[in-house]
Amino acid sequence: MIRPYKGITPTIGAGCYIDQSAQVVGDVTLGENASVWMNAVVRGDVNLIRIGANSNIQDCSVLHGMLHKWPVILGDWVTVGHSVTLHGCVVEDRCLIGMGVVVLNGARIGHDSIVAAGTLIPEGTEIPPGSLVIGFPGKVKRSLSLEEKDSILTYGRNYLGYKEQYLKEMGK
């Protein structure tokens, strides 16, 4: 469901897929070819949410900001795994956010990073670009290799393919 809030309707870029069970509300912008999957909630009611081109928000994930303080900003080619909570944070380009991750207000994930499944990124944490982050709370384990950085786009490309198939089956 795509719906306005306080007169602001989500802006949906060309080629996007939003599943009929997803909720996209208010001041939300999806870049070209972005996708929002089953039962995901992108709640731009208390602050803006920006999702970059070719990014995907997978099943049961929640994106929400903090009133007057923390928006949610995702760069291009960001993969947000199943059941992730992104609250008032920034995730730069080409990141993989694993299943069940929680990223809290004021945190920033640098580009070309992987946050392992089940990790908690506490408020205000700055993750440097090119990092592998693991744990509860999340700690930078090491820098990613070039091959690992390249692998991040594999997930994004897979979701572009899934998106195209879903749109095709919907006759779009």
Beta carbons of 74 and 58 less than 8 angstroms apart: no
Instruction: State which residues form the domain around 22.
Output: 2-169
Q: Tokens in use for 91?
A: 């995730």
> Could you read off the pLDDT tens digit of each residue along the chain, which spans 172 residues?
999 999 999 999 999 999 999 999 999 999 999 999 999 999 999 999 999 999 999 999 999 999 999 999 999 999 999 999 999 999 999 999 999 999 999 999 999 999 999 999 999 999 999 999 999 999 999 999 999 999 999 999 999 999 999 999 998 8
Q: What pLDDT shows up at residue 140?
A: 98
Report the distance separating Cα 14 and Cα 172, nearest Å. Answer: 12
Domain with 161 in it: what CATH number?
2.160.10.10
Domain count, the chain: 1
The two beta strands, 120-121 and 11-12, are unpaired
Q: What pLDDT shows up at residue 172?
A: 81
Q: 3-class secondary structure for the chain?
A: CEECECCECCEECCCCEECCCCEEEEEEEECCCCEECCCCEEEEEEEEEEECCCCEECCCCEEECECCCECEEECCCCEECCCCEEECCEECCCCEECCCCEECCCCEECCCCEECCCCEECCCCEECCCEEEEECCEEEEEECCHHHHHHHHHHHHHHHHHHHHHHHHCCC
Amino acid identity, position 54: N
Among the listed residues 105, 104, 79, the one whose alpha carbon sits nearest the alpha carbon of residue 94: 79
Q: Tokens in use for 153?
A: 């786009």
